[in-house]
C-alpha cells in the first residue's frame, strides 16, 4: 500500500470528523475532505509527498474550511416581481408614449428628421433625399434632435440603464416637470 493510500484509509474518518465539527453540513464536509485529498494527490504528483502527511492534511483541511466560509454567501430569495422576465422591448414601447409627444415639441428643424428616421424607420440617406438636404445636414439635425430629446427625457423621467447603456426601466418624475397633470409628458 502506498503512503497516499495509507493516508486515505488511515486518516479519512478522523479528518472527516474534524471537518464536520467545523462546517454546517455533512455534504460540505465530504466535499472539503475530497478536495483535501485531491490536493494531496496533486502535491505528490508535482513534488514529493509531504514528510509529515498528518500535519499537512490537517493544515490543508483548516485552510479549506477557511476558504469554505469565505466563499459562503448569504443568498436571499428575490421577490417574485423581480424574478419575472420583462418582455423584450416592453420598456421601450412604454417609453414611446412619452417620446413621441416630446419629439412633437422640438423645433421643426429637428422634429421632422427625427420623425422620419426613428418613427417612420427611414435611413438618413432617404431622409436627406426626401427633405432635399445633404446627408451631413440630416446627420447633424438628427444628432442635435436626439440630444434635445434626451434632455427632455432626463427632465421628465429617471432612466435606468444596463451595463451596455440600453434603457431597461424608467420612472416618470413629478407631472409638473413633464408639463402634464395626468402623467403623460407633453
Given 43, 71, 99, which residue is the final one in a domain? 71
Check whether residue 93 and residue 29 sit in a common domain: no
- 173 plus 112 within the same structural domain: yes
Backbone angles phi, psi at 165, to 5 degrees: 95, 0
In a structure prediction context, what are the per-residue pLDDT tens digits for the chain, which is 186 residues long? 666 677 777 888 888 888 898 888 889 899 999 999 888 888 878 877 777 777 888 888 888 888 888 876 655 454 554 444 445 555 556 666 667 788 888 899 999 998 888 778 889 999 999 999 999 999 999 999 988 888 887 787 777 777 776 666 777 776 554 544 444 443
pTM of the shown model: 0.44
Q: With beta carbons less than 8 A apart as the criterion, state whether 145 and 114 touch.
A: yes
Hey, how many other C-beta atoms are within 10 angstroms of the C-beta on 157? 21
The CB density around residue 174, as the number of other CB atoms within 10 Å, is 8
Residue 133: its pLDDT value, please? 92
Overall domain count for the chain: 2
What confidence score (pLDDT) does residue 131 get? 92
Give 58: exposed, middle or buried? Use CB within 10 Å, 0-12, 13-18, 19+.
Answer: middle
Residue-level pLDDT at 46? 80
**pLDDT for position 127:** 92
Give the structural domain span for 31.
3-71
Amino acid at each position: 500500500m502506498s503512503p497516499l493510500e495509507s493516508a486515505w484509509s488511515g486518516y479519512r474518518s478522523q479528518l472527516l470528523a474534524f471537518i464536520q465539527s467545523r462546517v454546517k453540513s455533512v455534504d460540505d464536509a465530504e466535499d472539503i475532505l475530497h478536495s483535501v485529498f485531491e490536493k494531496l494527490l496533486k502535491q505528490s504528483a508535482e513534488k514529493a509527498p509531504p514528510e509529515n502527511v498528518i500535519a499537512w492534511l490537517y493544515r490543508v483541511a483548516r485552510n479549506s474550511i477557511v476558504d469554505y466560509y469565505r466563499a459562503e454567501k448569504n443568498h436571499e430569495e428575490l421577490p417574485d416581481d423581480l424574478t419575472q422576465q420583462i418582455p423584450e422591448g416592453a420598456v421601450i414601447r412604454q417609453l414611446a408614449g412619452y417620446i413621441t409627444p416630446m419629439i412633437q415639441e422640438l423645433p421643426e428643424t429637428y422634429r421632422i428628421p427625427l420623425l422620419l428616421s426613428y418613427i417612420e424607420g427611414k435611413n438618413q440617406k432617404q431622409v436627406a433625399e426626401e427633405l432635399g438636404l445633404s446627408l451631413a445636414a440630416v446627420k447633424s439635425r438628427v444628432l442635435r434632435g436626439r440630444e434635445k430629446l434626451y434632455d427632455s427625457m432626463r427632465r421628465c423621467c429617471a432612466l435606468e440603464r444596463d451595463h451596455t447603456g440600453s434603457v431597461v426601466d424608467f420612472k416618470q418624475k413629478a407631472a409638473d416637470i413633464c408639463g402634464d397633470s395626468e402623467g403623460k409628458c407633453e
